[in-house]
Amino acid sequence: MTFPLCLFALFLMSLLVVGTVALDTVKTPFGEVEEVLGGSATYFSIAASYFTEVRLVTVVGEDFPQEHIQLLGRHGVDLKGLQQEKGRTFRWKGQYDYNLNEARTLDTQLNVLQSFKPQIPEEYKKVDYVFLANIDPDLQREVLHQIERPKLVACDTMNFWIQNKPDALKRTLKEVDILIINDGETRQLAQEPNIVKAARKILALGPNTLIIKRGEYGVLMFKRRGRGEEFSSRAPGLPLPHSSVFAAPAYPLEFVFDPTGAGDSFAGGFMGYLSKVDRIDEQTIRQAIVFGSTVASFNVEDFSLRRLDKLTNEELLARFREFKALVDFDQIR
């Protein structure tokens, strides 16, 4: 293993996330919870907090419980960018059936999110790593225009923006290094059922790296070569010319209580690790994908942020090593 076993260094690169904080009501076959802490930026921040210092830009309402602020603070999340506005916090209500791969949205109340304009605090404007969680692509771009060019920008999006704001989304993608979306969104964005062809089309839109989240089937990464980046001579001569491909399985879990936040905690672990080691070569990106998958696998073991809140570094590293054993086929003894 070439990655550092100690996750904490004295000097931390900065990681900025812009996204939502929500109060979620969720029902799964294994239970239900009402108005618990949720939201893309929340899952991202707590996941990333195991690797680096996170700067959070988001909006909450007057009704946002103080205990949630405390939870974020306990994980060292910098809250200077948390805007508290008049009105109610964003709410999401969803349900999963036994096929836990897809959420059925029962209700969405945007509330203060409706008029959210991300304000980047002065001390955040020189930041190295940026994650634009799933918000309006115009807002994602506005964030980038408020800050100095970072070392790396990654973003998420969703079917709603792909369908309703395709041009705005494409403008955003031109300014992004890594796009992190699920397989349905990949096919929808590329208008192409074959995932390899779809990846080729999306890499032509701007990002040099596409990370496709496939739920219980893990993650697939396509990376364009060139632009002076380091690439492996052993990288596969796979079907996409001038690209390399990486496949990571999901950790096989016997108990999945609530998939909410899996994608965002994946992104948090992924970006947190990159920011921590401050490298963006392909080997590091592959390791970051496995760290992201590791954090996500813990997140789904309980509702809301309960599992991530009490995660330990030892648990994180032990499961990262299990991922290695999970995929090895020439060195398992």
Sites of contact with its own copies (CB under 8 A):
1-3, 98-99, 193-197, 200, 214, 216-218, 220, 230, 232-240, 244-249, 251-256, 282-283, 286-287, 289-290, 322, 324-333
Question: Measured from the CB atom, is 1 or 10 closer to its own copies?
Answer: 1
Q: What is the smallest separation between the CB atom of 119 and its own copies, expressed in angstroms?
A: 38
Residue nearer to its own copies on the CB measure, 11 or 255: 255
CB of 260 to its own copies, least distance (A): 17
Closest listed residue to residue 83, CA positions, set 113, 110, 122, 125: 113
Q: How far apart are CA 223 and CA 245, in angstroms?
A: 6
- Which C-beta is closer to its own copies: that of 110 or that of 247? 247
* Distance in Å, CB of 65 to its own copies, minimum: 33
Please, what is the minimum distance in Å from the beta carbon of residue 78 to its own copies?
30
Select 122 or 314, whichever has its Cβ closest to its own copies. Answer: 314
> Beta partners for 31?
28
Q: Kindly tell me which of 144 and 219 has the beta carbon lying closer to its own copies.
A: 219
Q: Using H for helix, E for strand and C for coil, what is the string for 248-309?
A: ECCCCCCCCCCCCCHHHHHHHHHHHHHHHHCCCCHHHHHHHHHHHHHHHHHHCCCCCCHHHH
Q: Taking the complex as a whole, how short is the minimal distance between the CB of residue 25 and its own copies, in angstroms?
A: 23
Tell me whether residue 11 or residue 329 sits nearer to its own copies (CB atom): 329
Using only C-alpha atoms, the chain has a radius of gyration, in whole angstroms, of 19
Q: How far is the CB of 283 from its own copies (least distance, A)?
A: 5
205 vs 11: CA distance, rounded Å: 35
